[in-house]
Amino acid sequence: MKILVTNYFLKNFTGSEINTLQICTALKELGFDADAATFFFDEPLKSKFLDRNIKVKNLLHDDFELEEYDIFWTHHTHTINHIIFHKKPESTKIIYSCLGPFSSLAVPPYYHNELNCILSNSKGNTQVLRKEGISIEKIKYFPNFSPEYYFSQPRTHFSKILTRIAVISNHPPQELDQFSLLAKDSGHVVEFIGLDNNHVYVDPNIIKKFDLIISIGKTVQYCFSLKVPIYCYDHFGGPGFITPDNIHFEEFYNFSGRATNRVLSGYELFDDIFSNFAGAVNHLDFLFDYSKENFLLEKNIQELFGDISLSKNLNISEIRENYALTERHHNDFLRMLQIQLAQENQLTLKRNTGNLVSSIDSSQFELEQEVLSYSLSRSWRMTRPFRKILKLIKKVKRA
């Protein structure tokens, strides 16, 4: 069986990009043939795909033998639109993975109920998807995960004395900066890992260097599977240490920190972490076992494919015919994307010639994509006349 996994961009160490890498790797280890496809393929993530012998195709420029793929596993609406309305396969199975309810890039396509399956990475996300009209029969819970090789190397020696701490975040709040100063003044080591700090690919070797990780999202599952204490906290706040008492509630919201609406000062974080660290170590075996039952990537893929094997191939021509308006939207998106690509090529040329020192980081890049998505949305188009009127009024006032 051959699978194509698509993601809008594959260039930085962000959630959907790492998911794509790990899913392709797991599929190959399970005996499947897996490729990836994207609009943007670049370093630093590019070398990780090459090291694993995973082929990555450019959705805009590369030729595809679409009929050789049995399943398309897609992230981001624009990639699935491009496959269906531009590459035009005739018959296949399609999984759409919705990686969260807040990003416009992750919103399912209009033809969601025509697809074989919609994956939801949290039960909170599932609630939103149902409110947005997606049939519950189409939704399958597929949580953030740890690959098997994480579970194969858990920490075996535990210290209840907290010395080395890592904050893994692309958006650490001010109170974590304050906490780090307090901890350092007390003789502890605190390192920040993320876009604005030490931007590296987080793997077991990095996580196991520390006595405690402070983070949210998929890093939580990583820590469970490696038996490394995790303090769930970031820019939304968070519950702190995950325990048998709060794990189900926090899992509902993808360990995002949103569930509790609990925001602490740097001083309060310091007191909470150092007062409760020893107790958190006692829960590591429970968290490992719970994670292996629920968050093991290879196990969840096998269960998913067991369900998908029972479903029929889609008639893609029928989807194109019934949702023809989506093709017009996508053509407009492609026009704007080509403009963006031309601008990025100019920036790259300037950087390579030494005329531009700074680079666009992943968070800014993702924001640009979200703005692009909003500009293609139905509401944006409907309100276009009103925006023109507002611009006219501003011009009159300036005159």
Rounded to the nearest 5 percent, the helix, strand and coil shares of the chain are 50, 15, 35
Which of the four pLDDT bands, split at 50, 70 and 90, describes residue 246? very high
What are the DSSP calls for 178-191, one per residue? HHHHHHHHTT-EEE
Report whether 35 contacts 70 (CB < 8 A): no
- Average pLDDT of the chain is 89
- Which of 26, 307, 315 shows the shortest CA–CA distance to 140? 307
Residue 398 pLDDT > 60: no
For the chain, give the percent of residues with pLDDT over 70: 87
Average pLDDT over residues 34-45: 95
Residue 393 pLDDT > 80: no
Give the pLDDT score at 381. Answer: 41
Q: Which CATH architecture has domain 149-294?
A: 3-Layer(aba) Sandwich (3.40)
Give the pLDDT score at 356. Answer: 52
pLDDT digit string (tens) for 301-337? 999 999 999 999 999 999 999 999 999 999 999 999 9
Total count of residues recorded for the chain:
399
Report whether 75 contacts 310 (CB < 8 A): no
Strand 212-215: give its sheet, edge to edge: 189-193, 164-168, 212-215, 230-234, 237-241
- Which of 43, 33, 34 shows the shortest CA–CA distance to 9? 43
How far is it, in rounded angstroms, from Cα 393 to Cα 387?
10
Average pLDDT over residues 359-375: 47
Specify the 3-state DSSP secondary structure of 317.
helix
The DSSP output letter for 6 is E
Give the pLDDT score at 67. Answer: 86
Report whether 155 contacts 228 (CB < 8 A): yes
Average pLDDT over residues 85-101: 93
Average pLDDT over residues 277-294: 97
How far is it, in rounded angstroms, from Cα 375 to Cα 164?
45
Report whether 134 contacts 301 (CB < 8 A): no
How far is it, in rounded angstroms, from Cα 216 to Cα 347?
33
Same CATH fold assignment for domains 1-145+296-399 and 149-294:
yes
Give the pLDDT score at 374. Answer: 45
For the chain, give the percent of residues with pLDDT over 90: 76
pLDDT digit string (tens) for 340-365? 888 877 877 777 776 654 444 444 54
User: Does the domain at residues 1-145+296-399 carry the CATH identifier 3.30.70.120?
Assistant: no
Which of the four pLDDT bands, split at 50, 70 and 90, describes residue 197? low
CA distances from 295 to 187, 240, 298, 349 (A): 35, 20, 9, 43
Give the pLDDT score at 234. Answer: 96
Q: Where are the domains of the chain?
A: 1-145+296-399, 149-294
